[in-house]
Each structure stands twice: as structure tokens, then as C-alpha cells.
């Protein structure tokens, strides 16, 4: 073979090898950086833009797609220790003509974290109302959806600010009082009694604990590589002290049952989505809400755990779109595109 051709293959091979080796090195050495890049790329691919808005010296970080129109805007509230990007898997399956807003909850990701902030459910509801006012999102009633802790906040928000909200979706929300505790809640109470706050199952600090948390929250058993588990832990560890503080705040007497105490004040059409195999918050909560909220639809998902948004994003998106169509067809006699 001609020497020049050999040289060409060597150069070409070297050129390809550099980015490949860089990717492998990044995966092995800086998996948390790759996770951040992954979310950045996904937001970009889905057309979600990140913006900041301020209420006094308090900063809210949010992502959005679309503009307000004749259809209700949709405000999406994530769960405990998550962030706005957890909704991307659902956004992927939502129509592009909807105005979507995903906000980082108080103290999470790009939203201000302050030692003076009231992290109770009431405190978070007030903060979200400030965010809504900053964006003038309530110029026309919007649809509110929240999952887990975000569902707790969303439900109480709908009770406190009924004129802001035209409809509501609660995805396995926290904040309900059960007659009996499930295994997860029993374990939490034992940890509280022993003051072992370092071992809260929803606040992992090792890859092994992260794997256990994923198994707790998901019915589907994901096979996650060790390096990805390490990356997920690395992203969370700097925030774990805040997560512990927040967790203890939302499970204390002031906040634990806020949704239960206010569910009969929810007057807007409401959709409940719950995984039947939820090990964190028992699915019987759906029936409690249905009995207290007059205009309520319940959707129970087979073979699905607590992480409904991650496990069944396409189904969640379809249920949301169908619910909005049914509710707002009734109100406006027109279909959701």
C-alpha cells in the first residue's frame, strides 16, 4: 500500500480517536459533567429555553417553550431534590403549540437557596405564587401540574389561589394522611425517632444508595451503569445538606398533611395520575382525593411506581393532553389541537 495512503489512514484514525478517547475519559472521570451536558442537549433539542426572573432579590430559574395563547399555559412543578429538567421526558410527547413552563422549586438548581427561606409547603406555595406573578402567568387561568412534593405544592396552590388555576393534574402527590403507614413511611418514622437523618432513603450519598433509591421509586428495574450512578451521586452530594433540611421541613407537623387539610377547597377540574406499584406514596391516596374533589378524574397506571414521569412519560403526556381537551372542550366548545 502506498505510504501516503497509510499516512492518511493513520491521521484519520488519530483524528477520530481523539474525540472518542475524550468522551470515554469524560465518562470515566467526570460523569456528572456528562449528565449536565445531556440535559443541556435535551433542552435544546426540545426547544426549551432557560430564563431567570426576580422577585426582589430572589431569583427563579425556569425553562419554557411556546407562548401564551387561547389554550391554557401549563406550569409544571417537580418533586423533592429534582429540577425543572425532570419534565423533559414528558415535554417530548406534548404538542409544540402548548405554552409550557417548568420552574426550579425553591432552593433547587438555579432558583435561590437561602437559609432564611420558608421551606414549608405553605412557604413554597407563596414562592410559586411570586413566580407566577413575576411572569404574569395568571393573567389568564393556567393549568397546574405537580408530582410528589410538587404535587403537594400544586394541590395547596389550587386551594389557596383558585382564580389563578383553570385545571389541575396531581401525579402521585405527597401531603395525604393515610390510616396505615406503608413500609417506606414506617422506615422514615424510625429514622426520625433515632435522629438518623443521614440515612434518609431519598437522599443518597453513594452509588449503592442511589441504586436503592431508583429501585424504591421505580417499578421498572433500570440497569444503570456504575459510572452513571456515580455521576448522579456527584451531582447531588453538594446539595444533600439542603435536601435534608428541606425533607425534615416538609414532613414535620406544619407541612406533612397540608394537601389533605386543603383538598376539599380545590374546586377546579382535577386529574389524579398514580402508579399502582408506588412504594413511596400509597396509591390509595388517589381514592381519597377523588372523594374530596368534586370534579376529579383518576388514572391508575399498571406496572408503574412513584416515578411516573420517568417511567411512563408518553402515557403521562397523553393523559394530560386528553384531560385538557376534555375539560376545555366543555368550557370553550373547541378541541385541543
The three cell numbers of residue 99 are: 405554552
State yes or no: is 278 an active-site residue: yes
pLDDT at 30: 60
Mean pLDDT across the stretch 276-299?
A: 97
What whole-number distance in Å separates Cα of residue 263 and Cα of residue 290? 10
Catalytic residue among 278, 282, 307, 328: 278
pTM assigned to the model: 0.89
Q: What percent of the chain has pLDDT over 70?
A: 86
Name the nearest CA neighbour of 103 among 62, 150, 144: 62
pLDDT at 188: 83
State yes or no: is 129 an active-site residue: no
pLDDT at 194: 66
* Per-residue pLDDT reduced to its tens digit, 115-157: 999 999 999 999 999 999 999 999 999 999 999 999 999 999 9
Q: What's the full length of the chain, in residues? A: 337
pLDDT at 4: 41
* Per-residue pLDDT reduced to its tens digit, 303-319: 999 999 999 999 999 99
State yes or no: is 54 an active-site residue: no
pLDDT at 187: 86
The three cell numbers of residue 222 are: 433500570
Identify which of 38-42, 101-105, 231-235 has the greatest average pLDDT: 101-105
User: Of 15-19, 74-78, 281-285, where does mean pLDDT reach its minimum?
Assistant: 15-19
**Does pLDDT of 95 surpass 90?**
yes
Name the nearest CA neighbour of 216 among 250, 193, 187, 181: 187
Burial degree of 56 (CB within 10 A; 0-12, 13-18, 19+):
exposed
pLDDT at 199: 81
pLDDT at 107: 98
Q: Where does the pLDDT of residue 334 fall: very low under 50, low under 70, confident under 90, or very high at 90 and above? A: very low
CA atoms within 13 A on the CB side of 103: 31
pLDDT at 256: 94
pLDDT at 197: 65
Contacts of 227 (CB under 8 A, 6+ apart): 27, 28, 31
**Mean pLDDT taken over the chain:** 88
**Does pLDDT of 67 surpass 60?**
yes
Contact 152, 173 (CB under 8 A): yes
What whole-number distance in Å separates Cα of residue 205 and Cα of residue 210? 7
Q: Where does the pLDDT of residue 23 fall: very low under 50, low under 70, confident under 90, or very high at 90 and above? A: very low
Contact 61, 52 (CB under 8 A): yes
Q: How far is CA 240 from the centre of its chain?
A: 17
Q: What percent of the chain has pLDDT over 90?
A: 75
Q: Which residue has the higher pLDDT, 49 or 190?
A: 49
Q: Where does the pLDDT of residue 20 fall: very low under 50, low under 70, confident under 90, or very high at 90 and above? A: very low
Contact 305, 275 (CB under 8 A): yes
pLDDT at 5: 34
* Per-residue pLDDT reduced to its tens digit, 168-190: 999 999 999 999 999 998 888 78
Catalytic residue among 63, 81, 148, 169: 148
Amino acid at each position: 500500500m502506498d505510504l501516503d495512503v497509510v499516512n492518511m489512514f493513520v491521521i484519520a484514525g488519530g483524528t477520530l480517536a481523539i474525540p472518542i478517547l475524550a468522551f470515554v475519559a469524560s465518562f470515566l472521570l467526570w460523569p456528572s459533567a456528562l449528565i449536565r451536558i445531556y440535559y443541556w442537549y435535551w433542552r435544546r433539542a426540545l426547544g426549551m429555553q432557560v430564563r431567570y426572573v426576580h422577585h426582589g432579590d430572589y431569583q427563579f430559574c425556569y425553562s419554557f417553550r411556546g407562548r401564551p395563547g387561547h389554550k391554557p399555559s401549563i406550569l409544571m412543578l417537580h418533586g423533592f431534590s429534582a429540577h425543572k429538567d425532570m419534565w423533559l421526558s414528558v415535554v417530548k410527547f406534548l404538542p409544540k403549540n402548548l405554552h409550557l413552563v417548568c420552574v426550579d422549586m425553591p432552593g433547587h438548581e438555579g432558583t435561590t437557596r437561602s437559609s432564611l427561606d420558608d421551606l414549608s409547603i405553605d412557604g413554597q406555595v407563596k414562592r410559586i405564587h411570586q413566580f407566577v406573578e413575576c411572569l404574569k402567568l395568571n393573567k389568564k387561568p393556567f393549568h397546574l401540574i405537580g408530582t410528589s412534593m410538587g404535587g403537594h405544592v400544586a394541590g395547596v396552590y389550587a386551594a389557596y389561589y383558585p382564580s389563578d388555576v383553570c385545571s389541575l393534574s396531581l401525579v402521585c402527590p405527597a401531603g395525604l394522611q393515610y390510616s396505615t403507614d406503608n413500609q417506606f413511611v414506617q422506615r422514615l418514622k424510625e429514622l426520625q425517632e433515632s435522629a438518623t437523618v443521614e440515612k434518609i432513603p431519598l437522599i443518597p450519598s453513594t452509588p449503592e444508595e442511589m441504586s436503592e433509591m431508583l429501585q424504591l421509586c421505580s417499578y421498572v428495574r433500570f440497569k444503570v451503569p456504575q459510572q452513571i450512578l456515580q455521576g448522579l451521586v456527584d451531582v447531588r452530594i453538594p446539595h444533600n445538606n439542603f435536601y435534608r433540611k428541606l425533607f425534615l421541613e416538609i414532613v414535620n407537623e406544619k407541612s406533612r398533611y397540608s394537601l389533605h387539610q386543603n383538598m376539599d377547597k380545590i374546586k377546579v377540574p382535577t386529574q389524579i395520575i398514580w402508579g399502582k406499584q408506588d412504594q413511596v406514596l400509597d396509591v390509595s391516596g388517589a381514592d381519597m382525593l377523588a372523594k374530596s374533589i368534586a370534579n376529579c378524574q383518576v388514572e391508575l397506571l399498571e406496572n408503574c411506581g412513584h416515578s411516573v414521569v420517568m417511567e411512563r412519560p408518553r402515557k403521562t403526556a397523553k393523559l394530560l393532553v386528553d384531560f385538557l381537551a376534555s375539560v376545555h372542550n366543555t368550557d370553550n366548545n373547541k378541541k385541543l389541537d
